[in-house]
A and B are shown apart, each in its own frame.
Chain A
Amino acid sequence: MRNKIYWVFLIPSVVILVFFFLFPLLIMLYYSFLQRGIYGGFEPIEDVREYIFSFAWVKNYIRVFDSLYVPIYLRSIYIAFLTTIICLFIGYPVAYFIALKVKPENKILYLFFIIVPLWTSFLIRTYAWILILRDEGLINLVLLKIGLINKPLPLLYNEFSVLLGLVYGELPFMILPIYASLEKIDIGLIEASKDLGADELGTFKRVILPLTLPGIVVGVTIVFIPTLGSFIVSDLLGGAKSILVGNLIQNQFVVARDKPFGSAIAFVLSSFVLILLYIYRKIWGKEIEVL
């Protein structure tokens, strides 16, 4: 019995998880099986037996795969994929530089620069990008002034601005886990590699990259998943043309007032992510304990 006392300390987190995570999720799951009422809200169910056996409850899920929406999903996956790749290719060199090239006493300063934007609301930072990118924005103003262009570049409300906003927002979440895994590498291993005949590139390929794989996997995961469901960036920087699955869900709740359909899309999206994570785990799980 004396070993059981530690369960007491788990109670707060269990309570939070159950009431604020599991419970709302179950409500949403329930919603996703209902039908939208004429004025929003829900269509009352008269006969539960009949409702179940008529398969009326799967209507939302069938609608999710309507050809009207499929391009949106594909675009969302494409954008999320692209964002993740760009973040990886920008984030890895940055993490590498801070972990291995910066003097130990200066590392904290560089990390501070990466973290400090997170102190401001993401919404506000995204608005700031509008000020930078719009026709009368900072970039166009400067370029016009120095005469490099004679009419403003279309920087805002297109795929470019959405990608830029997403990469900007997610970059710290790619850099930090990769930095952590680079920081863990024993310098002796890098020296041993060079001692045994590997040059800088060989050392990177055969020692550093394999040892930072856990960081890359974590970074890719925590960038890809939120990007897939994001809606703020595409809403503010993408204009009306570039709608992502996140916007689609948001629209169902806020604009179309179709909570059941919105819930159904959200659940399909979550299932998709879970399946991806499962495949991911199948591939890397043996080597990487974080999954």
Chain B
Amino acid sequence: MEELASFSSQALVEIKGISKSFNNIKVLNNIDLTVNKGEFFSLLGPSGCGKTTLLRIIAGFEIPDSGKVIIDGIDYTDVPPYKRPVNMVFQNYALFPHLNVFENIAFGLRYQNLGKIEIRRRVFEALELVQLVGFENRKPSELSGGQKQRVALARALVLKPKVLLLDEPLNALDPKLRKEMQIELKKLQHEVKVTFIFVTHDQEEALSISDRIAVINRGEIEQVGTGYEIFEKPRTEFVANFMGARNLFTGVLHRLDKHMVEIELPNLVRFKVFNNKNLKLNSGEFKFVVRPEKIFIRKTPVKNQAFVSIPAIVESKLYYGASTRWILKANGFSIFVEEQNRGIKLKNEFSPGEEVYAVWEKRNMVFLEA
């Protein structure tokens, strides 16, 4: 346990070239992934992207067509689930309906050659961990959704797995409880210091809960990184779009010299940008995104060289309480703007049809890989 306490970046789960097809439909395509010891790692993607299949391959419920699953240095690819040092929390909890809470949690301990007293001690330790002491004699049918969730967690964690796999475990909970469980899950992981691999389709959930995230789309990994990296520095169009960076622009790049490039948005604007390391591109077409909250609306163009101003027309406004979202039209192109409502008094009131400027700081542009 000591070695886990220090957040080392030692590889624990290594996925090497995993592919999997169902009925000739490729679900996973040559996936490579490394999850480090003690990490809270999320697999994020839309439904049907293959994230659950990947989790089930790690658990041993599916055998990959090719590739390897290595856990703590040992190849587990063809090992049945009951011999793997991983445990799973299922989407619908999968609690045994004929057993009470105690027996559900003790289920796996019965295969570990422990005495009755030791089993009892471990079960109550787990019950304490998930704050369910006093519920040990209840049947799953007598528990609320959140309580079932905790039993499922306790049942898996009591076995002290090297990796805990969580398959969209919070899906069945109502939004408020879901938020609470996210915080609790994070706390729990910190407490038990077990590596978590968490499958979710909810970007916010993944961002708030994970140390690192792998964004998966159509059976391929689009990007792996911390929440910050995925959110602010998406590398592909899919990741940008999935993380809500809705303003995707196609520009033409003209290299002026070693330090300076000129970017042209056809029929809209031309501006100069200092060459930075995100901009490895040679002259030609390329794509970049600007997140909605990093664009603001002005009545006049901003003169400062650090900013880009695009003439646009206000199309619509949606008031969300904490923020206001605008849609602008610039030469047939939609620009989404999100503005935090920092004061009680609304500022920047624009009406549809009004001619304005969409303004952003040049350094907030994220250049996508071709």
**Option from B82, B94, B107, B108 in Cβ contact (under 8 Å) with A199:** B82
Contacts A/B (CB < 8 Å), 15 sampled: A188-B90, A189-B94, A191-B88, A191-B94, A192-B96, A193-B107, A194-B82, A195-B59, A196-B87, A196-B159, A197-B108, A197-B111, A197-B112, A210-B98, A211-B98
A195 pairs with B87, CB closer than 8 A: yes
Counting CB contacts under 8 A, is B97 at the interface? yes
Q: Is B352 an interface residue (CB 8 A)?
A: no
A interface residues, tally (CB under 8 Å)? 18
Q: Are A196 and B61 in contact (CB under 8 A)?
A: no
Chain B residue with the shortest CB-CB distance to A213: B98
Across the interface, A195 reaches (CB within 8 A) one of B81, B91, B97, B98, namely: B81
5 closest pairs, A vs B, by CB?
A196-B108, A197-B111, A188-B94, A192-B94, A194-B81
Q: Is the interface of B mostly helix, strand, loop or mixed?
A: loop
Q: Which of A188, A189, A195, A206 is the one whose CB lies under 8 Å from B82?
A: A195
Task: Kindly state the separation between the CA atoms of A253 and B112 in the bound complex, as whole angstroms.
Answer: 64
Contact with B along A103-144 (1 / 0, CB 8 A): 000000000000000000000000000000000000000000
| B148 CB, min distance to chain A CBs, angstroms | 12
Within 8 A of A (CB), among B83-117: 86-88, 90-92, 94-98, 107-108, 110-112
CB atoms of B108 and A211 under 8 A apart: no
Whether A186 sits at the interface, judged by CB under 8 Å, is yes
Query: For B108, what are the chain A residues with a Cβ–Cβ distance below 8 Å?
Result: 196-198
B103 (CB) vs chain A CBs: closest residue: A206
State A115–B281 Cα separation when bound (angstroms).
70
Complex CA distance for A194 and B88, rounded to whole angstroms: 10
> Is B353 interfacial (CB 8 A cutoff)?
no
Is the Cβ of B82 less than 8 Å from the Cβ of A198? yes
When distances are taken between beta carbons in the complex, the residues of chain B under 8 Å from A206 are: 107
Contact of A196 among B91, B92, B155 (CB under 8 A): B155
Question: How far is A188 from B93 in the complex, measured between Cα atoms in Å?
Answer: 8
A191 pairs with B96, CB closer than 8 A: no
Question: CB distance A196 to B59 under 8 Å?
Answer: no
B92 with A186: CB separation less than 8 A: yes
The verdict on B244 contacting chain A, using a C-beta distance below 8 Å, is: no
Interface residue A93 (Cβ < 8 Å from any Cβ of B): no
Q: A164 to chain B: which residues have CB within 8 Å?
A: none
Q: Is B80 an interface residue (CB 8 A)?
A: yes
**Residues in chain A near residue B60, CB distance under 8 A:** 194-195
- Residues of A near B59 (CB, < 8 A) are 191, 195
Q: Which residues of A contact B98 (CB under 8 A)?
A: 210-211, 287
Q: Does A154 contact B (CB under 8 A)?
A: no
A186-B94, A191-B94 as given contacts; A197 in contact with B80, CB under 8 Å: no
A residues in contact with B92, CB < 8 Å = 186, 188
Known: A191-B59, A194-B82, A197-B111. 9 other contacts (CB 8 A): A188-B94, A189-B96, A193-B107, A195-B86, A196-B107, A196-B155, A206-B107, A210-B98, A211-B97
